[in-house]
Amino acid sequence: MDLIRDPAAMRRWASEARSRGESIAFVPTMGYLHDGHLSLMRIGRARADRLVTSVFVNPLQFGEGEDLEVYPRDEEGDLAKCESEGCDAVFFPQPDTMYPPGFQTRLVTGALTTVLCGASRPGHFDGVVTVVLKLFNLVQPHVAVFGSKDYQQLQVITRMVRDLAVPVEIVGAPIIREEGGLALSSRNAYLGPDERSQALALNQSLALAQELFAAGERDPGVILAAVRAHIQAQPLGEIDYVQLVDAEELTPLYGPLVRPAVLVLAVRFGRTRLIDNRVLSES
Ligand code: AMP
């Protein structure tokens, strides 16, 4: 496995692979890798000749007062996990090489990011798509894998690739959960024991919504009220949003549910903001 820190070296590595006729799968991450990240690597591994993972805590996507400085890091552990998942290269750049003095160009996202996490984290998704496009230009992947845990991010990146005709296939991957149902996240490391046990209510509330939907409930108000009540029963949880939205446009659904709908939620436990979601299905 090659450890590459220099963006120019990453681009050379990718160009050489491509000139040998090899296809490249790419998994961008912010590190502190867990089984969710590793599941994306397995999907990537199966889809291309070469697998590249990047680890970069991207300052552009963090707002004032967010957790950029304290975001958990474990370079040694991350490299060992990439190696054992069969990565061919790990791209581990530093902010000053990704954003050297004079860097000033950013992508601007649209309606998809005026809602949900975009509403509570202004500028966040512009920072995400900017770094993702730059990473794509360096890694030159044929296919890139993103988790549907970050549902809005997956939609925003899919749209960016479509809008700008970026020559890469975006693959969405299922959410990987702990045994109790909590979606794996690097930020789970911030949770205290009580917060962690109360956070199980997130997945429970999604399951409750799915049960209601499968039983024929189509009134968003009824489903949302049940979900909110379940989360509000946890004294340490503070709802940022709980919404039922169109699965592609992320617009809120008010009438009887007829189009594919996803229940999305963000809940704070102390200083930790957790997100989760579930696409509602007939069965
Ligand atoms: P992050 O390191 O949090 O930026 O995440 C990197 C990638 O891993 C993103 O595409 C995430 O959606 C994905 N990811 C994070 N947590 C999970 C999870 N529990 N299951 C599946 N994918 C995940």
pLDDT of residue 145: 99
β-bridge partners, 173: 147
pLDDT at 283 over 90: no
Report d(CA 40, CA 29) in Å as an integer.
10
pLDDT of residue 259: 86
- % of the chain exceeding 70 in pLDDT: 100
Please, are residues 93 and 6 in contact by the beta-carbon 8 Å criterion? Answer: yes
Which band of pLDDT confidence, cut at 50, 70 and 90, is reported for residue 74?
A: very high
147 pocket-lining for ligand 1 (C-beta < 6 Å): yes
**How far is Cα of residue 238 from the mean position of the Cα atoms in its chain?**
21
CA of 256 from ligand 1 middle (Å) equals 32
Which band of pLDDT confidence, cut at 50, 70 and 90, is reported for residue 255?
A: confident
DSSP one-letter string for 56-89 = ---GGGPPTTSSTTT----HHHHHHHHHHTT-SE
Specify the amino acid at residue 214.
A
Average pLDDT over residues 36-62: 98
Ligand 1: residue whose CA is nearest its atom 13: 147
Scanning 149-267, the segments in alpha helix (DSSP H) are 151-163, 193-198, 200-214, 220-232
CA of 228 from ligand 1 middle (Å) equals 25
Domains of the chain: 2-173 (3.40.50.620), 186-278 (3.30.1300.10)
This prediction has a pTM of 0.98
Report d(CA 166, CA 30) in Å as an integer.
22
* Structure tokens given for 148: 């549907």
Ligand 1: residue whose CA is nearest its atom 10: 146
Q: Which ligand 1 atom is at minimum distance from the Cα of 174? A: 21
Ligand 1: residue whose CA is nearest its atom 18: 36
Neighbouring residues of 109: CB distance < 8 A, sequence distance ≥ 6: 118, 125, 126, 129, 156, 159, 160
Average pLDDT over residues 196-215: 98
Report d(CA 77, CA 205) in Å as an integer.
33
Catalytic pick among 37, 124, 142, 230: 37
User: Is 230 one of the catalytic residues?
Assistant: no
Ligand 1: residue whose CA is nearest its atom 5: 29
Angle in degrees, 0-180, between the axes of helices 35-47 and 75-84, rounded to the nearest 10: 40
Q: pLDDT tens digits, residue range 170-191? A: 999 999 999 999 999 999 999 9
- Strand 89-91 and strand 50-55: pairing? parallel
CA of 36 from ligand 1 middle (Å) equals 6
185 pocket-lining for ligand 1 (C-beta < 6 Å): yes
Please, are residues 60 and 34 in contact by the beta-carbon 8 Å criterion? Answer: no
CA of 248 from ligand 1 middle (Å) equals 19
44 pocket-lining for ligand 1 (C-beta < 6 Å): no
Report d(CA 93, CA 28) in Å as an integer.
12
Angle in degrees, 0-180, between the axes of helices 124-139 and 7-19, rounded to the nearest 10: 50
Mean pLDDT of all residues belonging to the chain: 97
Beta strands in 85-207 (DSSP E): 89-91, 143-147, 169-173
